[in-house]
Structure 1
């Protein structure tokens, strides 16, 4: 027995010796202009082995790999470097000298009003797709995640980005340069529509809360420019399953790695969750939706790109509420919606010129049926049917003057054809907006740059034209400190939903003045912005009654006599460095705004504008537990609400405020967990993420507004469909390893 024990100990010692002997140490130093630089990621390509340089630029790590390999050196501020290494049985020493990304980092970039998350070399990079997926309370939606940034108001009763005192329709969303009409799903009054587009479709975004580029128009407040992904790294298959949806998709990369195609299909149904949670909303038809999409991407031999994306979705729901009118017990509304969207883009260099061209088409149909119920008998049905066709085309030609200067120009066509039927209101609205624009980036030095642009538009419906100049200036105050100033004139057509009667209308107009101070260093960023917006030629409306049986009224454009202003201060702080494995950001917005528009009788604080908004997001990944923990919190001061009615004075219809007040303050704490059971398993055939999220975990009873009866004597609150919602799901990917994302605190 003793001899056998000695042999066993000898065997264990031998195996330990072999294991230790098989490890080879790779070390070296990374420098820039002769000085060592820290936080450079050094990785043995296609493995999990690597290290990060220390303050002197030194690195070392051990690996069991053998043979020919590539050692990569990466950092957002420097050009990527790859060095071949041969790993045998001796330690390896490799040094690298890096070059700075002068065009992106050395030269100061105009950023007033804009937050960018597209190019990985941008110092202002913010919300990546992984950021959005791991923001508790965002539900994986881009628009919801933007609510945690300064300048965006929390408005839960309707969809849209409400930016700096602007309505949700005063911000526009673009995909690869082309306008997305109907970005949000169809919905019923009081319930916000969701994003139609999958967040993973986009590799980044530029979110502008004001002063945006002359390349974009028809938005008084802001713009969100989404950039779709290029070729995938490899073929993959994805599945998602939860109590409320099923989804499946694939991406196939061609053998030549110059083309790919893919598709997804999903179905959602909320009926099961209705049985589990106490919903505030009585869904007589549980919300359900069917969606599918297809894409292909082709990289040309000369380095250009052709990308196509097409999608279709349908949804329906039915809602029952207690009637505010004494002659009825309940009011019912049912929705059937359909939408299709197609986007084709082309990017190609021709000598010294870069051409970006794209076109998009969308069709949207919304069928709302209103009825009442008394003594369990449904009656008085009326239908609001809208359908629209939208075509957008844009071409931009750009030429680089030098590394930090460029000039670009182009044109855009946006054609709209809409039909509406509601009682005795029947319309066929058509408009072609033609636009031309020119813009230049001027880099005077590494410390001073400017952006100057102009945009001109003509509307066939209005029969009028406009010219909108835009200007921005940026200056580097110190190594990490920059300041920017932006001014712009912005025009937008009146909303077509208000054009139900002939009227002599003009473009609505806003002027933006933005001042920003920003400090950006490795792992930390601080932004302060002050802004002032002046509104002119806003739409004023009057009420008409298309359906007398239902006593339902619609607002109809009267003139452009409206006006207003918005001013405020914003603060944003993000920190990935102070606390190990913790990424957090805090944003605060102060807004002072008044408007006299639509049916407002006088200049009022808009019912979608909160004076104070505070948001905080925190994320921590715990490698040893393979677990990501995410928290978010939002507070906003209670918004005003108004019950505006019409009365007759001296034979004239006059609007007046019948009831008004202020909503209770909004509070919501959200939490989510992401568990990665495959983490660290190199041979795992499938990468799985298990998700558990709880929205409004404290169950705060938030109120979005009030509905009033026709005589103003009764009211009901507009509230979220459910106070607290729990989501649990599993997402499985075959062929894509997201381990490194998890290690980098991205999941």
Structure 2
């Protein structure tokens, strides 16, 4: 393994030196000064070339300077919170010694963005933290995965054996994903046991990614802890074609544009055979992990006030591996064979009607078909089919500069089928067919009660057909925004989510929706290249499923409380971005088969992440280093008294990555996770029988790989920039 590590470091060094040789184009300098109408310098204004990552942030004197390889006419954009965006087109040679004066923008209620518990990844300068799709690709050890990139933020917890998103002491299922406002039933790919699952979506599909850690609006339901709304790109004005490839996948994507419409496509094939040969993992593969996926979008503007978006995605995953009993490899030998198909369809229509009304209509369908042979014992068969139809309509209007009303209704139509057959067992097949619907309506009122004080009061009602119960959930927030840099907010809300199908089927009539009450305080500051956030929170769980006398009832409860800290600085050293995030969480529940109120196995009390990203202009190279630390996770040791009575050793991973902007149309990205090769233990699995020493034997639950090396190339084939958001 040490030999492999040395080879990887050598390869990354060669790539870095190669980037210097490949970058030989002439540089043009863009520089100037940004001020307000009183001739006061604006510190931390964002200056960039439209649809690229080439740009800079103004310093303490309002000055900016950056280099570009562009030689033709470009569009320069200057944005700053509280001011009108400044955009103009000019020849690159005329963009020197500029003096740009930004005009103040009167804030109306529809433009107010409350950043409490929100992290926004997009190109909206009014958001607390701006990030485009390439930033998602280059974040730490994300390897281009949306969920992995988000795990560098405070409030998230590291669960390394599956890679899913866990937020503020909640399970991964408590965080729900939405595309253009429509729900995604299964946003993760499937994978082998103790192997990271990735997002089904490419980050290049989206212009905005918004992780909301809690306290979200009444528009979103069926999420106890968090929501992840993502907005796809708009109609493209030009044709694009690009490819990307790595040692285990190849991707082709592009866009065909018309005057008012565009059609985009993206196809990907992943095969881990070659990678497993070079860097073997801990599994015995018969057929390596493979995934074939494709997605397409059609977007049309019938006129500037009427926009239709249609999205369709499909992926097929399959693999086969030899497995056996964890404690006695001579028994239960089998060839686990998994096949899964996932289909997601999404269509939305948005219309700007007369008198300021805005209409939104959406429909989405999720279909997942999962089949596993030799799942638990030789010759058994496991099948799980799930589908959901999500219907939604909203209407909104700003009646004055001080009041905005939004209202809507939506339906979730769900079906789940599961069957398990074991020919070696005398018992009948285990199976169920579960149907239920959830109907909801919501109302949202936003008020500007003072030029610096904003209040929101909303409510949501949900009715679930299987238990015929109704939930009313009020939500409110009060924000004080004295200037464009500072926000103070307090948030309260009740949130609900249907119990998991595998539990709900035991007591369809008796189990209510699970509930959580959110209490959040937030302080956010953003100025001069410095972003700071401090958020204490408390979540109270109610009506969780609890096993009592062989059945489940909505009598479980719990809490999750903690503090999130976030600090990002881009002014200490030129071209260096430093990010620190820390989360403290105290979470306990009495749910499922817990004999007492305990900390869930996935929860970690302390999570600390530090990341550095440095840009080297002469060779157009980003170098990143990040370190993630998480305190030990609780687990149950049957050899000791009590429940959840032990803790694993702390988790730690030091990761490095490099991104070379070789040419405007070529990006080379490489990363190496857990460079020190630490053997992180996530849990322990215990035998069901006592051994000769009258104790229960155990094996650690660890990742299938100690390290993961990734290298990828992104290429635009028609002379556009590989790092434009809309390329793929």
TM-score range, shorter chain: 0.7 to 0.9
Match of 1:421 among 419, 422, 432: 419
- Partner SS state of residue 381, structure 1: coil
> Partners in 2 of 1:336 and 1:507 — Cα distance?
31
Matched, 1:587 2:593: no
Match of 2:702 in 1: 719
C-alpha contact (below 8 Å) 1:539/1:597 kept by paired residues: yes
> Partners in 2 of 1:244 and 1:25 — Cα distance?
39
Match of 2:140 among 136, 145, 148: 136
> Partners in 2 of 1:65 and 1:565 — Cα distance?
54
Matched, 1:348 2:354: no
Match of 1:522 in 2: 528
- Superposed, 1:316-465 pairs within 5 Å as 316-324=318-326, 326=328, 328=331, 330=333, 332-351=335-354, 352-370=356-374, 380-403=378-401, 405-423=403-421, 424-465=429-470
Residues 297-341 of structure 1: per-residue CA shift (max 9 Å, x gap): 111213332111101101112344441465716465321111111
Matched, 1:512 2:518: yes
Residues 542-596 of structure 1: per-residue CA shift (max 9 Å, x gap): 79xxxxxxxxxxxx86111111111111100011222211112110001111111
- Superposed, 1:579-618 pairs within 5 Å as 579-618=573-612
- Partner SS state of residue 632, structure 2: coil
Matched, 1:489 2:489: no
Distance 1:723 1:102, change over 3 A: farther
Residues 174-205 of structure 1: per-residue CA shift (max 9 Å, x gap): 01110011101123443343211111111112
> Partners in 2 of 1:119 and 1:92 — Cα distance?
24
> Partners in 2 of 1:538 and 1:127 — Cα distance?
36
Match of 2:616 in 1: 622
- Superposed, 1:82-121 pairs within 5 Å as 82=87, 97-103=101-107, 109-118=113-122, 120-121=124-125
Does 214-223 or 635-644 show the bigger shift? 635-644
Larger RCO: Structure 1 or Structure 2 (Cα < 8 Å, ≥ 6 residues apart)?
Answer: 2
Q: Which structure has the larger Rg over C-alpha atoms?
A: 1
- Partner SS state of residue 662, structure 2: coil
Matched, 1:205 2:209: yes
C-alpha contact (below 8 Å) 2:716/2:722 kept by paired residues: no
* Superposition deviation, residue 157 in structure 1: 2.3
Distance 1:382 1:515, change over 3 A: same
Match of 1:260 in 2: 262
> Partners in 1 of 2:498 and 2:531 — Cα distance?
37
C-alpha contact (below 8 Å) 1:153/1:162 kept by paired residues: yes
Match of 1:705 among 683, 691, 696: 683
Match of 2:6 in 1: none
> Partners in 1 of 2:651 and 2:28 — Cα distance?
57
C-alpha contact (below 8 Å) 1:70/1:82 kept by paired residues: no
- Partner SS state of residue 131, structure 1: helix
Distance 1:187 1:643, change over 3 A: farther
- Superposed, 1:552-701 pairs within 5 Å as 558-642=552-636, 660-679=645-664, 687-701=665-679
C-alpha contact (below 8 Å) 1:219/1:491 kept by paired residues: yes
* Superposition deviation, residue 734 in structure 1: 2.3
Unaligned segments of structure 2, at least 5 residues: 1-26, 422-428, 691-695
Match of 1:273 in 2: 275
C-alpha contact (below 8 Å) 2:115/2:127 kept by paired residues: no
Match of 2:4 in 1: none
* Superposition deviation, residue 31 in structure 1: 4.5
- Partner SS state of residue 272, structure 1: helix
- Partner SS state of residue 200, structure 1: helix
Residues 505-535 of structure 1: per-residue CA shift (max 9 Å, x gap): 1111111101111211131110001011111
> Partners in 2 of 1:572 and 1:441 — Cα distance?
27
- Partner SS state of residue 144, structure 1: helix
* Superposition deviation, residue 412 in structure 1: 0.6
C-alpha contact (below 8 Å) 2:667/2:722 kept by paired residues: no
Residues 335-383 of structure 1: per-residue CA shift (max 9 Å, x gap): 11111111111111001101122111111011122367xxxxxx73212
Distance 1:657 1:446, change over 3 A: same
Match of 2:715 in 1: 732
* Superposition deviation, residue 30 in structure 1: 5.5
> Partners in 1 of 2:58 and 2:127 — Cα distance?
20
- Partner SS state of residue 107, structure 2: helix
> Partners in 2 of 1:70 and 1:153 — Cα distance?
42
> Partners in 1 of 2:563 and 2:209 — Cα distance?
23
Match of 1:552 in 2: none
C-alpha contact (below 8 Å) 2:207/2:232 kept by paired residues: yes
Match of 1:217 among 216, 221, 224: 221
> Partners in 2 of 1:590 and 1:91 — Cα distance?
47
* Superposition deviation, residue 148 in structure 1: 0.8
* Superposition deviation, residue 92 in structure 1: 10
* Superposition deviation, residue 82 in structure 1: 4.9
Does 28-37 or 608-617 show the bigger shift? 28-37
C-alpha contact (below 8 Å) 2:116/2:524 kept by paired residues: no
- Partner SS state of residue 35, structure 1: coil
* Superposition deviation, residue 283 in structure 1: 3.0
Unaligned segments of structure 1, at least 5 residues: 1-22, 373-378, 544-555, 646-655, 680-686, 743-747
- Partner SS state of residue 676, structure 1: strand
Residues 450-485 of structure 1: per-residue CA shift (max 9 Å, x gap): 111100000011211100000111113666332111
> Partners in 2 of 1:622 and 1:79 — Cα distance?
31
> Partners in 2 of 1:594 and 1:60 — Cα distance?
51
- Partner SS state of residue 165, structure 1: coil
Distance 1:198 1:64, change over 3 A: closer
* Superposition deviation, residue 49 in structure 1: 11
> Partners in 2 of 1:226 and 1:615 — Cα distance?
24
Distance 1:616 1:24, change over 3 A: closer
Distance 1:66 1:173, change over 3 A: closer
Distance 1:632 1:233, change over 3 A: farther
* Superposition deviation, residue 119 in structure 1: 5.2
C-alpha contact (below 8 Å) 2:323/2:334 kept by paired residues: yes
C-alpha contact (below 8 Å) 1:281/1:722 kept by paired residues: no
Distance 1:302 1:91, change over 3 A: closer
Residues 374-426 of structure 1: per-residue CA shift (max 9 Å, x gap): xxxxx732122000121001111110134464210000111101111014321
* Superposition deviation, residue 236 in structure 1: 1.0
Residues 586-628 of structure 1: per-residue CA shift (max 9 Å, x gap): 1000111111111111111110110100011221121112211
- Partner SS state of residue 158, structure 1: coil
> Partners in 2 of 1:699 and 1:109 — Cα distance?
42
Match of 2:541 among 524, 532, 535: 535
Measured on the aligned residues, the alpha-carbon RMSD in Å equals: 3.5
